[in-house]
Homo-oligomer: A and B are copies of this chain.
């Protein structure tokens, strides 16, 4: 896979060695995230909204209601900043100053395009649904024509983006290593818990395998 060009906006200035511009790293972070923060400028004010997304190739897709103020704002071709942040752990150093976080994040800049091609629209909805829970799309009642008409889909080219990551143990000052405190990493993970069946279910169906397999130490 390719490496994206470094622009003035995506160049990592602080801790430059944590920067990564390869599609491999950027795509892997995007593919693991469940939601992104979309930032845009509205009357000179920054706005930042969390929302789901999906990726197909070098395009990121966002969907929403055709009546959404947010969707209409980011559909008009202005530059938006999309940010996906995965938190992997707390870095518990000996000094307060050296505490840190292990994370993997992507920041991208792009202008949105309203998707009009019906095949691309359909495929992007599959991508957005499967981003949340792989296997779900094939098992649910698919969108009707009327639902499709209520849905706006915007694509963003993945051309100007950078990843920033930190992993591993604390980097304490040399003289702090003889400070007598436990030091290390407390890993964090967004984990699925026991599914809660909708009490309105009219059928006695088990939790599907593509859901139950996401739950650690259950079933």
B187→A193 contact, CB < 8 A: yes
B50→A186 contact, CB < 8 A: no
Report chain B residues within 8 Å CB of A176. Answer: 141
Shortest CB-to-CB span from A55 to chain B, Å, is 18
* Copies assembled: 2
Stretch at the interface among A19-27, A96-104, A112-120: A96-104
Report chain B residues within 8 Å CB of A180. Answer: 203, 205
8 Å CB contacts to B: which residues of A197-219? 197-203, 205-208, 211, 214-215, 217
Q: Mark each residue of chain A from 146 to 159: 1 if its CB lies under 8 Å from any CB of chain B, else 0.
A: 01000100000000
Q: Which of B46, B169, B211 contacts A79 (CB 8 A)?
A: B46
A133→B196 contact, CB < 8 A: no
Tell me whether chain A's interface is mostly helix, strand or loop, or mixed.
Answer: mixed
A195→B186 contact, CB < 8 A: yes
CA distance A137 to B67 in the complex (A): 48
A6 at the interface (CB under 8 A from B): no
Q: Mark each residue of chain A from 1 to 30: 1 if its CB lies under 8 Å from any CB of chain B, else 0.
A: 000000001000110000000000000000
CA distance A139 to B151 in the complex (A): 52
B217→A217 contact, CB < 8 A: yes
A188→B182 contact, CB < 8 A: no
Report chain B residues within 8 Å CB of A83. Answer: 37, 48-50
Shortest CB-to-CB span from A203 to chain B, Å, is 5
Q: Which of B177, B188, B202 contacts A177 (CB 8 A)?
A: B202
Q: Which of B81, B89, B181, B215 contacts A45 (CB 8 A)?
A: B81
* A residues at B contact (CB < 8 Å): 9, 13-14, 34-35, 37, 39-41, 44-50, 52, 65, 67-70, 79-83, 85, 87, 89-90, 92-97, 99, 101, 103, 105, 107, 109, 125, 129, 132-133, 136-137, 139-144, 147, 151, 169-170, 176-203, 205-208, 211, 214-215, 217
Additional A-B contact list (9), CB under 8 Å, known A48-B48, A189-B190: A9-B47, A14-B68, A14-B69, A37-B37, A90-B132, A99-B129, A182-B197, A183-B198, A184-B197
